Amino acid sequence: MEDTYGFIGFGLIGGSIAKAIKKAKPDCSIIAYQPDHNTIDSHIENSLLLAKKECIIQIITTSLEAFSCCDIIFLCAPVLSNIEYLEKLTTIVKPDCIITDVGSVKGNICNVASSLSVCKNFIGGHPMTGSEKTGYENAKEYLFENAFYILTPNIDTKPEFLTRLKQFVQSINAIPVILDAKEHDNIVAAISHVPHIIASSLVSMIKDNDDKNHTMLSLAAGGFKDITRIASSSPIMWQNICLTNKESIQTFLTLYKDTIDSFLQLLVPEKEKELLHFFENAKEYRDSIPASVNGILSKTYELYLDIIDESGAIALVASLLASHKISIKNIGIIHNREFQDGVLRIEFYDIIAMEQAIVLFQQHNYTIYER
Ligand SMILES: NC(=O)C1=CN([C@@H]2O[C@H](COP(=O)(O)OP(=O)(O)OC[C@H]3O[C@@H](n4cnc5c(N)ncnc54)[C@H](O)[C@@H]3O)[C@@H](O)[C@H]2O)C=CC1
Ligand SMILES: O=C(O)C(=O)Cc1ccc(O)cc1
């Protein structure tokens, strides 16, 4: 019999997971919780009805008791609400149910879980993908393609539950990464939470110093828009993140403040060389992201090709590579945020094969992306 999945919180991430599940397992059953809409979000009811109409959800419930038949429950509301639901679910879930969350902070919820009778059932989760958009209407079934999906089991977590959840993550084409919750919170403070605060502060700085005609804002060009895109994200979600990861955020925000202070010292004529070095160093490290993106995992050698006709493209590319004796580990079309129309992803066993393929594709005028 197919599994039953439960969702509490059904916006961008919850909706995307549900869509990805339905794609991988069309016969499974999905139950979603509808809270009292007056206290939460007035358009949640419409989102759930739309998801039911689209056959993504089979049951909408206003009672948590309905989650007693679930095999996996996903908590997909803001971080503090997820903790409240975890506590409420303890007396409801069946013994072999996995409870996981998708919140951007893991320490708090994992600490609470370890004090509950469901400690063996709980595994913290954090898909490292998303966007500034919110709500089910922006949910995408391919959001998790090739994305890291961090799992933070407690010492009490039953190992077979972790194995099952890892398999689930792989089934939606994401890459599971196991981390300690505290380590997770420190890393994401540096690479996600502080950058978010910087983006919002930058927008506020412009707002506070713009004239009444909003001249600065009207003239804002690509660079400002790129660096501040994430400032358009859900305010409640980011308030919850900051409330639950204060210490790590303070640490990295202070380090950032020190970096800005040091930079200010470079704005004098005798520091011209150091000023150049500042930008050279940053550029060099930023440009290394494609190579280091899989740094904490086993290395993958992959590239992406623009394709015209999906079905014919795979056969054509595969035979081109085979005729030059270049072996491939994996090949397939992917659709994700970065490549909206889809591209062909090709994975190689080693760097030599990948470099040979790049030369070959260039000779055949393919557009190649590496990342
Ligand atoms: N937005 C992103 O890019 C990412 C978000 N996350 C995490 O995912 C979680 C959900 O975020 P999104 O889906 O982006 O936000 P969203 O705003 O699109 O969806 C959240 C949903 O939860 C519902 N909700 C809010 N409070 C609730 C409550 N007390 N009870 C039941 N439902 C409630 C809202 O009505 C909404 O439908 C957050 O914990 C966030 O930290 C994780 C990775 C990426
Ligand atoms: O929009 C983006 O680029 C993001 O970085 C989205 C995001 C937001 C919160 C997370 O915990 C993870 C990813």
200-227 per-position pLDDT tens digit: 999 999 999 999 999 999 999 888 999 9
CB 130 less than 6 A from any atom of ligand 2: yes
d(CA 230, CA 131): 7
Nearest CA to ligand 2 atom 4: 131
Q: What is the pLDDT of residues 126-136, one digit of tens each?
A: 999 999 999 99
Percent of the chain with pLDDT over 70: 92
Cα-to-centroid distance, 235 and ligand 2 (Å): 13
pLDDT at 284: 93
Q: Would you say the CATH fold of 184-265 matches that of 4-179? A: no
Distance in Å, CA 105 to ligand 1 centroid: 12
Residue 140's SS3 state is coil
ipTM over 0.90: yes
pLDDT value for 1? 77
Return the closest-CA partner of residue 300 out of 211, 222, 371: 371
Is the minimum distance from the CB of 234 to ligand 2 under 6 angstroms? no
Residue 103 CB–ligand 2 contact under 6 Å: no
pTM (predicted TM-score): 0.83
**Cβ burial, residue 331 (10 Å; 0-12/13-18/19+):** middle
Least confident of 10-19, 142-151, 249-258: 142-151
Q: Nearest 5°: phi and psi at 204?
A: -65, -40
Which CB contacts under 8 angstroms, 24+ apart, belong to 358-362?
Answer: 358/303, 360/320, 360/321, 360/324, 360/326, 361/305
Which ligand does the CA of 134 lie closest to? 1
State the closest ligand 2 atom to the C-alpha of 229, by its place in the atom list counted from 1: 1
Distances (CA, A) of 107 to 86, 100, 123, 245: 14, 13, 12, 8
Ligand 2 pocket mutation, candidates 82, 109, 132, criterion most atoms within 8 A of CB: 132
Pairing relationship of beta strands 4-8 and 29-33 according to DSSP bridges: parallel
Listed by start position, the domains of the chain span 4-179, 184-265, 301-369
Judged against a pLDDT cut of 80, whether residue 38 lies above it is answered with no
pLDDT, position 37:
60
- Nearest bound ligand to the CA of residue 199: 2
> HSE on the CB side for 59, CA within 13 Å?
17
pLDDT at 292 over 90: no
Tell me: pLDDT of 244 over 50.
yes
Nearest CA to ligand 2 atom 8: 130
User: Which ligand has the minimum distance to the alpha carbon of residue 188?
Assistant: 2
DSSP letter assigned to residue 118: T
Give the Cβ contact number of residue 155 at 10 Å.
7
CA of 154 to the centre of ligand 1 (A): 23
Helices (H) and strands (E) in the chain, counts: 15, 12
Residue minimizing CA distance to atom 16 of ligand 1: 11
Q: Which fold has domain 301-369?
A: VC0802-like (3.30.2130)
328-334 and 301-305 beta bridge pairing: unpaired
> What tokens appear for 215 in the block?
């001249």
Which CATH class, in words, describes the domain spanning 4-179? alpha beta
Separation between Cα atoms, residue 218 and residue 213, nearest integer Å = 9
* Separation between Cα atoms, residue 64 and residue 89, nearest integer Å: 7
What is the rounded CA–CA span in Å between residue 44 and residue 145?
Answer: 26
Is 132's C-beta closer than 6 angstroms to any atom of ligand 2?
Answer: yes
Instruction: Confirm or reject: Cβ of 37 under 6 Å from ligand 1.
Output: no
- pLDDT at position 115: 97
CATH topology assigned to domain 184-265: 6-phosphogluconate dehydrogenase C-terminal fold (1.10.3660)
Place of tokens 């420190």: 186
Ligand 2 centroid vs 342 CA: distance in angstroms?
21
Pocket test for ligand 2, best of 101, 129, 248 (most atoms within 8 A of CB): 129
What is the C-alpha separation between 308 and 134, in angstroms, rounded? Answer: 31
Report in angstroms the alpha-carbon separations of 117 from 23, 79, 95, 108, 165.
33, 20, 10, 16, 19
- pLDDT value at position 85? 98
The preferred substitution site among 237, 238, 243, 336 for testing ligand 1, maximizing ligand atoms within 8 Å of CB, is: 237
Q: Who contacts 367 (Cβ-Cβ below 8 Å, separation ≥6)?
A: 305, 306
